[in-house]
Structure 1
Amino acid sequence: MSALSIEELRTLFLFERLDPEQLDWIAAHGRVETIPEGEAVFREGEPATCFYVLLSGTLKLTRAVRGDEVEINRSSRRGVYCGAIQFFVDGDDDQRYGASAYAVTEASFFLLPASDFAERFRDWFPMPTHLLEGMLSGTRNTQLVIGQRERLLALGVLSAGLTHELNNPAAAAVRATAALRERVAGMRHKLAKLAHEDIEPGLLEKLIDVQERLVKRVAEAPPMTALQAADREDELADWLDEHGVEDGWDLAPVLVPAGIAAADLDEVGGAVGEEFLSTALRWLGYALETETLMGEIEDATTRISNLLGAAKQYSQMDRAPYQWIDVHEGLDSTLVMLAGKIGPGVRVVKEYDRDLPTVPAYAGELNQVWTNLVDNAVAAMDGTGTLTVTTRAADDRLLVEVRDTGTGIPEENLERIFEPFFTTKPVGDGTGLGLDIAYRIVVDRHHGVLRVDSKPGDTRFQVLLPLTEP
């Protein structure tokens, strides 16, 4: 442990402009410490007691992020400082180190006690102290308010998209259920009428047997064009008129989608005879409609289940934060969640390499990256264009590319695009935090690369993720 002379202090850019009295105070109150290679200088969360100035060697700063220690800076420049860097804030007596510092090589530091230095600093520089306090407080409040607003807006967009996507199948299921109730009531009525007409049990068994065979064909009925369907309806309507079935034009459209042809109607007629033909066909029509409606309900509820599954996948609410993942699952769930915002004017193209291996990642955080990139791409296209999401191998990494056909990013903005609070959107439309958050998740959290290439009509954001655990 030793001290620095006034002449040595003047060689440090922080102190070179101080007057002799100020330098005397700093020399008297400071001390020099040497930290061995690999040792901690101070640790994140500990009371911030000292202001450190690097004299020699190399240091690195790290932050703890959900259990991982992420390097945020490294320097060997003489005079760089760290530790209690907010010592000047008045009234904040419980300051703690915001990061951990380590000596990458053996390193020497000049230390000043934070509390003593703060009191003297405020006496020496009252106006700069007030300016620094105001700037720090303003930055904190801005980040807090904008961060909360950004999260609320993102949640609103996702909720609106999911609600929009759920509304269609839910409404279809409600409509089909109401129609199904009517058809079931009609079946009961026609069955009662057949019973009232004293149909022989043997004929009823034949009719039920024919019904079962025809109903099974509903799911297997081949699709028809509008012209083919119209021709088949005319054919069945003529058959029904020839056999005295009233309102055949109304019954034919029910029979055609099930793949029923005139030969099938001959089979029904042969089973029950002309006397019960009209009632039997109406009963059969209700049965076919019931099967079709149940199929619609099944499709609608399956769609709802898939959407909820996508929401669950997106939120990762029942998954471990860090896991080996298939990036396509997160990309697909993100596109589903943002479907309402993407809109009908944007064509979505997926160029996936499904043979890609899984990657170690924080899935929920990567979904936030995909959300920000897709959201920016859609905004750039202003509702019309093509959104292309590509995955492929890139040497020893996995590449995810989000490409849009929007207006592009001006060249002078490309170098600043990942800066916090920088946005190319009109005032009030963007906070400038989306790409900054995405960058920190990809680069700091996953040790990957996030880059952009842009020209009018072709903007590409590329994320490269390592295939092995760092």
Structure 2
Amino acid sequence: MSAAATNGREPKELRDALYGLEIFAGLTEDQLDWLVSVSEPRVLADGEVLFRDGEEATRFHVLLSGGLVVTKVVDGREEVLTRHSTEEDGGAAEEHDGKPPAAHRFTGELPLLTEGSYVATAAASGPATTVVAYPKPVFFEMLTRCHGVAAVLLPVLAWRIKSSEVQARKRATVEALGTLAAGLAHELNNPAAAVARAAQELLPALERLTATACAWGAAATAAERTVMDRIAVELDELPPPGTTDPLAQADAEEEIADWAEGAGAERAGLLGSGAADLGLEADWLPQRLAGLAADRLPVALDHLAALLEARSLAAELRAAGPRISQLVAATRDYANLDRAPEQRFAVTEGLENTLVVLRAKLTGITIVRAYDPALPELTGYPGELNQVWTNLVDNAAEAMEGAGTLTLRVRAEGVCMVVEVTDTGRGIPEEVLPRIFEPFYTTKDVGKGTGLGLHLSYRIVTQRHHGSLTARSRPGETRMVVRLPLAPAAPAAPAAAAAG
């Protein structure tokens, strides 16, 4: 008894069902007889899985009745990629993106042709879903025996690859925006917190400064006020302290505070911390205040403590404001907002902005920049290239697992700009290296990668910018090399002009 009969369909019924499909409509009687003899019909319960993402591809599946839902887990979330349906209006929702009608009736051909695994999970949708499976050897024999099958299959295959790339670009855009938002939030946290703290403390500090200024002005003589004015000028002209020993700074702070407390100051600790932050030695203040009367020294020290506090808060605001502006500028440049799609740009700016955006992922990683001086500008699409830099740097960071060295090299080489991204991570296995730019190929665990990041990067570099993207790897060193032409590609000559 045939496999068809054992699964509830007589050979003639199966033959008629297959012949009614576009992919098999042009077959001869002998081809149909052979096709029925190698068919493996299967009835699926609602929700039953036909194949799973990551499993080795072993069969080509044809949908006879019912429907299939194709899903993929991305970043822990299950996303619906497409639906296949045999109902006349069942696929209406899928036709907005140009899905060919024949695409509803078969699945699984792509991983068979690429010698890979299934790139998504397919499950039955509805209580009466019937599929016919063809093992891998039979599928390839089908392509050679039945030439009409390839004529229907190849356009559908091309559409699926294009559709997957479009979905991947949309997903990459969302992921890039998410990465951008996360990186920006992380980087903005410190300066924003500094601004919030300084703003909260500034009003009480100004009140203390006003009160101590009044007290000092009432108590001091004209000569003593001159001494304090001279100290204020010196504080303004102090250069920023260099790198100091934290222990030495703590010792200086304690000595200054002890001296001020012994002189009767009420805010000796504040004075000690403010003076030590400026890099002042323990004897700096005593030398300059030596001529003040003992009963007026505490008032002078309290006024000086309030002055240092207000200036410290102002310095925090001055430092935090530009940092926020720099982050906003880097984000704008990274996203390429308010700019023409094609423009002149500096490659290193995109790399630096990418490092800013991915700073949180690069914690613990040493970054080495080897940029040749006087690099020329490029004409192209910096926003798209930023996606390339993000993919390469992100992959490098992941390979190093939080420890290692990331080296960015940029140089002009003949008529090309060469950008190298090198990491000291685990490396890419030799047998895997030739396939890393293939669509849907990934070495990551199921649900952690689409297999399209490097493929999209490859297309951006090669098709959009007419360059090249290559990889070399060994344990402890992986080097991704991007070559971009310095001059934009000349537009193709019109056919009429070429003929003339």
TM-score (norm 1): 0.67
Report the Cα offset of residue 232 of structure 1: 2.9
SS in 2 for 1:426: coil
Q: What residue in structure 2 maps to residue 441 of structure 1?
A: 460
Q: What residue in structure 1 maps to residue 12 of structure 2?
A: none
Say if 1:440 and 1:176 are closer, same or farther in 2 by CA, change over 3 A.
same
Question: Given the alignment of the two structures, is residue 395 of structure 1 paired with residue 414 of structure 2, yes or no?
Answer: yes
Say if 1:348 and 1:236 are closer, same or farther in 2 by CA, change over 3 A.
same
SS in 2 for 1:415: helix
Q: What residue in structure 1 maps to residue 86 of structure 2?
A: none
Could you give the per-residue CA deviations for residues 267-303 of structure 1, whole angstroms, max 9, x where no partner exists? Answer: 3352x52222101111111111211221121111111
Q: How does 1:4-403 map to 2 (within 5 A)?
A: 89=100, 139=161, 142-194=164-216, 198-199=218-219, 202-203=222-223, 205-237=225-257, 239-240=259-260, 243-245=263-265, 248=268, 251-258=271-278, 259=280, 261-270=282-291, 272-342=292-362, 344-403=363-422
Measure, in 1, the Cα distance between the counterparts of 2:369 and 2:467.
22
Say if 1:190 and 1:420 are closer, same or farther in 2 by CA, change over 3 A.
same
AA aligned to 1:360 is T
**Contact 2:268 2:305 survives alignment (8 Å):** no
Report the Cα offset of residue 231 of structure 1: 4.1
Measure, in 1, the Cα distance between the counterparts of 2:250 and 2:281.
13
Could you give the per-residue CA deviations for residues 377-411 of structure 1, whole angstroms, max 9, x where no partner exists? Answer: 12222333222111123233211001112222222
**Contact 2:365 2:405 survives alignment (8 Å):** yes
Say if 1:419 and 1:169 are closer, same or farther in 2 by CA, change over 3 A.
same
Report the Cα offset of residue 261 of structure 1: 4.7
Report the Cα offset of residue 219 of structure 1: 4.7
Report the Cα offset of residue 233 of structure 1: 3.5
Report the Cα offset of residue 459 of structure 1: 0.9
Could you give the per-residue CA deviations for residues 411-448 of structure 1, whole angstroms, max 9, x where no partner exists? Answer: 22222211111112111111111111111111111111
Say if 1:422 and 1:317 are closer, same or farther in 2 by CA, change over 3 A.
same
Could you give the per-residue CA deviations for residues 307-338 of structure 1, whole angstroms, max 9, x where no partner exists? Answer: 11111111221333222221111100011111
Could you give the per-residue CA deviations for residues 165-201 of structure 1, whole angstroms, max 9, x where no partner exists? Answer: 1111111221222233332121122123335xx4356
The more displaced of 402-411 and 210-219 is 210-219
Say if 1:290 and 1:304 are closer, same or farther in 2 by CA, change over 3 A.
same
**Contact 1:218 1:257 survives alignment (8 Å):** no
AA aligned to 2:320 is A
Say if 1:176 and 1:88 are closer, same or farther in 2 by CA, change over 3 A.
closer
Gaps of 5+ in 2: 1-25, 29-97, 104-145, 490-500
SS in 2 for 1:451: strand
Measure, in 1, the Cα distance between the counterparts of 2:251 and 2:102.
87
AA aligned to 2:285 is D
Say if 1:88 and 1:170 are closer, same or farther in 2 by CA, change over 3 A.
closer
AA aligned to 2:488 is E
Measure, in 1, the Cα distance between the counterparts of 2:214 and 2:153.
90
Say if 1:355 and 1:303 are closer, same or farther in 2 by CA, change over 3 A.
same
SS in 1 for 2:219: coil
Measure, in 1, the Cα distance between the counterparts of 2:352 and 2:270.
43
SS in 2 for 1:469: coil
TM-score (norm 2): 0.63
**Contact 2:270 2:309 survives alignment (8 Å):** no
Report the Cα offset of residue 90 of structure 1: 5.7
Measure, in 1, the Cα distance between the counterparts of 2:99 and 2:256.
91
Measure, in 2, the Cα distance between the counterparts of 1:251 and 1:382.
44
**Contact 2:180 2:331 survives alignment (8 Å):** no
**Contact 1:157 1:338 survives alignment (8 Å):** yes
AA aligned to 1:265 is P
The more displaced of 281-290 and 355-364 is 355-364
**Contact 2:209 2:310 survives alignment (8 Å):** no
SS in 1 for 2:440: coil
AA aligned to 2:455 is D
SS in 1 for 2:435: coil
Aligned residues: 352
Identity value in percent: 41
Could you give the per-residue CA deviations for residues 227-262 of structure 1, whole angstroms, max 9, x where no partner exists? Answer: 432443454345435644456455323323232653
Measure, in 2, the Cα distance between the counterparts of 1:305 and 1:234.
36
**Contact 2:257 2:272 survives alignment (8 Å):** yes
SS in 2 for 1:320: coil
AA aligned to 2:432 is N
Say if 1:209 and 1:412 are closer, same or farther in 2 by CA, change over 3 A.
same
AA aligned to 2:183 is G
Say if 1:294 and 1:275 are closer, same or farther in 2 by CA, change over 3 A.
same
Question: Given the alignment of the two structures, is residue 424 of structure 1 paired with residue 443 of structure 2, yes or no?
Answer: yes
**Contact 1:347 1:386 survives alignment (8 Å):** yes
Gaps of 5+ in 1: 1-16, 20-86, 93-123
SS in 1 for 2:431: helix
SS in 2 for 1:186: helix
Say if 1:469 and 1:177 are closer, same or farther in 2 by CA, change over 3 A.
same
Q: What residue in structure 2 maps to residue 464 of structure 1?
A: 483
AA aligned to 1:395 is G
Measure, in 2, the Cα distance between the counterparts of 1:131 and 1:440.
24
